[in-house]
Structure 1
Amino acid sequence: MKRVCFIYPPSYHYRRPFHERLREILREAGVDYVVYYSHLGKRDRFKNDTVDIEWGRCVPLTRFSGQEYQHVLLEASGYDLAIVQQENKLLVNYGLLALSRLRGNKVAYFGHGRNFQSRNPDGAGERFKQFWATKADWWFAYTDETRRHVESLGYPSERITVFNNAVDTTELRQQVAAADEGRLEALRRQFGIGPGPIGVFIGSIYPDKRMGFLVEAADLIRSRVPDFEFVVIGGGSDLPLTEELARTRPWMHVMGPRFGQEKVDLMCMGHVFLMPGLMGLAILDAGVTGLPIATTAFPWHSPEIAYLEPGVNGLLVADWQNSQAYGDAVADLLLDPARRSAMADEARAMADRYSIEQMAQRFAAGVFKALGT
């Protein structure tokens, strides 16, 4: 039986369905799959976004000077394929790459290929990452954008698997199906939301989300669509700023963090998903709820921006610093219900294409190829 392991310190809650499905697929093909993870510090545990995996293996983690070492080197080097996250700080990666040359086992990278949010792409950290990016035996790339970057470093395309990063949207789809007009109307009354079209922002609120820019654009949208309403869901460092901006705008409703069915109901009330700043996996949440995505050509999006098809399932305003251009593009969409409805259908179709099931199937196909090379 071939043996494959995945190594990464955090065992994130949102990744568990992917690991479970991948393990099933590999087991059916006679491949043993194990996840190695570590318990994090108190600050990380406070976020409550990690989980134990019963069939996984929890190993000690040592942190020093911003680096992290998982105590799994010798055990993991005995696997036919060890899959590691591509991060400079993960010291076990370099030991596994070195030992693979001696023992003949293989090491694969799982990652972005680069730091998409780096303001210094030519800095030492990114150059270090580029150097090591070509040393692995296989690459599991988040999206086609990651693939193109890894190929640009001289890595052979035949040893890259694009798995299209996703989250488990099963529960979200069930909650969307459970949303009914009576409850949505009750929410409108409860929060004083008018009957007009609604723009929705949902996610963490911090500088890269550009709330000041977004509110400027919302003012412009409101000037052209007089009954426009704006709903903001989420928390973060810029939540107080956002609440302050809402005080003089009765049509702007800052909800703070919301969860479960209530969050989904608020999204289902919407007509467009507003995120001119950093876009990541939220694009799938928007798609499942049938919200066309409206963003900009912000230079530091996460790889999942590759799922956006401008003019098809959403908007991508080229001048990312021009709030007038962004506001006009959104207003034009809201004033054209047929176009908005067609984009909503395409957004749902996009979310259907990028599922945990398909992600696991693509990933497993890459594992089989990596083991066979």
Structure 2
Amino acid sequence: MFHRSVSLTGILEEAGIKKQKTSIKKVLFVTHVMPHYRVAFHELVRKELGSRGIIYDVVCGLATDEELKKGDIGSLDSMLTVPEFRVINSRGVLLYHPIYLRSFYYDLVIVTQENKYLLNYALQLSRPFRRGRLAFMGHGRNFQARNFDSIAERWKRFWATKVDWWFAYTEETRDHIRSLGFSDSRITVINNSVDLSKLRDQIAQITPERLELLRRELDIVGRNVGVFVGGLYPDKRLNFLVEAGRFIRTMIPDFELLVIGGGQDLQKLEQLAADLTWIRILGPRFGTGKVELMLLGQVFMMPGLVGLAILDAGATRLPIATTDFPWHSPEISYLKPGENGLLVEDWQNPVAYGQAVVDLLKDKNRLEAMANAAEAMSRRFSIEAMAQNFACGIFDVLKE
């Protein structure tokens, strides 16, 4: 009996994946789905890498019917979509992207760091046998986890350092990954962002006359308006927001609050504000409809979890007012307290938070300076800068 010797190259060729004898560098990015807000980022990265002769391929899984119903799934030219294998267990759904063999012909494979992505473990375990590098992109940990020593968080920490490079969302992510013993020289901070160009175009098209008409439609009589924009769920601390608003109203009689968004706590908020005519609960708004409401405000009030909303706020010249809530997303690092927004240390005290907002609204010079700094922050952490940071990190990996 004869036994055929099977090499990895032979397996790949049998799978229809031919090795190309070329000096062209190839990079593969793998993600679950392609949300609309990530399309511009990948287009910019592909353009930047292409200018250096580097091929940038993106692989996504197929969106579920539930994900499609949300209406936030985008598409990228030449994007490869593959059906994911799903394994349901007591902790949720595990996903596997069937591109393991294909990945061997890339000089760099970048995956998002998620415990549920089974492909990640296959790629990490095969690192000694790969010619290319493997990198993580993400937060580094679950910033909303109430127990940082949970099994899920310990599992994530265990695998976090078993890659060749890290593309960290923010400086907070860098600090966390570095604390695990990962080399700082192999961490690229990309500064997570979203495409604000469309929002800025919408701002430019909204006239003072339109805003004045909107004020009349909403019966807004005061010139001290707080704005909340986001999902309505427990981590947004809506009880706290209403209590702080009550205090502000006693100190500034014409204070009004616009709440824009939907979610599981919408009915709860409506009950909390049932007798408070100065709170306008406006539900979910999108596009120009959302932007023009934000332009009616002077301060962005979000005492709970802050994430990428800080960039939308800055683009509309709204300083963000938040607290030292322990479970912010890593984008909270964009906030410079006292410069482009407020961070109240006593995060469980709505009166302390309310007083900080009162002091800001009463000091128009400080408010204007903070609005300028908030807008500058949104331009500094742009999608263009994020793509440039990401591309520069890729260049660094490929140089090694």
**Bin for the TM-score computed over the shorter chain:** over 0.9
- 1:76-95 Cα shifts (integer Å, max 9, x gaps): 22211000000111000111
Q: Which amino acid aligns with 1:225?
A: I
Give 1:262 deviation, angstroms. 1.7
Q: Given the alignment of the two structures, is residue 235 of structure 1 paired with residue 235 of structure 2, yes or no?
A: no
Give 1:73 deviation, angstroms. 1.0
Which of residues 25, 40, 48 is equivalent to 1:2?
25
Partner of 1:44: 67
Q: Given the alignment of the two structures, is residue 14 of structure 1 paired with residue 41 of structure 2, yes or no?
A: no
Which of residues 243, 246, 252 is equivalent to 2:273?
246
- 1:100-128 Cα shifts (integer Å, max 9, x gaps): 31122111000111100001101111111
Aligned residues of 1:144 and 1:162 also touching (Cα < 8 A): yes
Q: Which amino acid aligns with 1:338?
A: N
Q: Which runs of 5+ in 1 are unaligned?
A: none
Aligned residues of 1:232 and 1:256 also touching (Cα < 8 A): yes
The worse-fitting range, judged by mean Cα deviation, of 332-341 and 45-54 is: 45-54
Aligned residues of 2:104 and 2:131 also touching (Cα < 8 A): no
Q: Given the alignment of the two structures, is residue 220 of structure 1 paired with residue 247 of structure 2, yes or no?
A: yes
Partner of 2:110: 83
Give 1:195 deviation, angstroms. 2.6
Give 1:48 deviation, angstroms. 1.4
Give 1:243 deviation, angstroms. 1.6
Aligned residues of 1:68 and 1:89 also touching (Cα < 8 A): yes
Partner of 1:367: 394
For the residue of structure 2 that corresponds to 1:192, the secondary structure is coil
Q: Which amino acid aligns with 2:47?
A: E
Which of residues 330, 338, 354 is equivalent to 2:381?
354
The worse-fitting range, judged by mean Cα deviation, of 313-322 and 170-179 is: 170-179
Aligned residues of 1:276 and 1:295 also touching (Cα < 8 A): yes
Determine the C-alpha separation between the residues in 1 that align with 2:361 and 2:46.
44
For the residue of structure 1 that corresponds to 2:175, the secondary structure is helix
**Percent of pairs identical after alignment?**
53
Two-structure CA RMSD over aligned residues (Å): 0.9
Give 1:98 deviation, angstroms. 2.0
Larger radius of gyration between Structure 1 and Structure 2: 2
Determine the C-alpha separation between the residues in 2 that align with 1:267 and 1:185.
13
Give 1:140 deviation, angstroms. 0.1
Aligned pairs for 1:159-178 (under 5 A) are 159-178=186-205
Partner of 1:148: 175
Determine the C-alpha separation between the residues in 2 that align with 1:333 and 1:81.
48
Aligned residues of 1:216 and 1:323 also touching (Cα < 8 A): yes
Aligned pairs for 1:201-212 (under 5 A) are 201-212=228-239
Aligned residues of 2:43 and 2:76 also touching (Cα < 8 A): no
For the residue of structure 1 that corresponds to 2:126, the secondary structure is helix
Q: Which amino acid aligns with 1:348?
A: E
Q: Given the alignment of the two structures, is residue 53 of structure 1 paired with residue 76 of structure 2, yes or no?
A: yes
Q: Given the alignment of the two structures, is residue 115 of structure 1 paired with residue 142 of structure 2, yes or no?
A: yes
Give 1:244 deviation, angstroms. 1.9
Q: Which runs of 5+ in 2 are unaligned?
A: 1-23
TM-score (norm 1): 0.99
Give 1:40 deviation, angstroms. 2.1
Partner of 1:305: 332
Which of residues 51, 62, 85 is equivalent to 1:28?
51
Aligned pairs for 1:334-345 (under 5 A) are 334-345=361-372
Give 1:259 deviation, angstroms. 1.4
Give 1:47 deviation, angstroms. 1.2
Determine the C-alpha separation between the residues in 1 that align with 2:145 and 2:389.
28
The worse-fitting range, judged by mean Cα deviation, of 245-254 and 159-168 is: 245-254
- 1:280-316 Cα shifts (integer Å, max 9, x gaps): 0000000000001000000110010000000000000
Which of residues 89, 96, 100 is equivalent to 2:123?
96
Q: Given the alignment of the two structures, is residue 317 of structure 1 paired with residue 374 of structure 2, yes or no?
A: no
Partner of 1:287: 314
For the residue of structure 1 that corresponds to 2:101, the secondary structure is helix
Q: Which amino acid aligns with 2:177?
A: V
Give 1:321 deviation, angstroms. 0.6
TM-score (norm 2): 0.92
The number of aligned residues is 373
Determine the C-alpha separation between the residues in 1 that align with 2:104 and 2:67.
28
Give 1:260 deviation, angstroms. 1.4
Partner of 1:199: 226
Aligned residues of 1:179 and 1:268 also touching (Cα < 8 A): no
For the residue of structure 1 that corresponds to 2:148, the secondary structure is coil
Aligned residues of 1:194 and 1:251 also touching (Cα < 8 A): no
Give 1:60 deviation, angstroms. 1.2
Which of residues 166, 183, 205 is equivalent to 1:139?
166
Give 1:364 deviation, angstroms. 0.4
Give 1:39 deviation, angstroms. 1.1
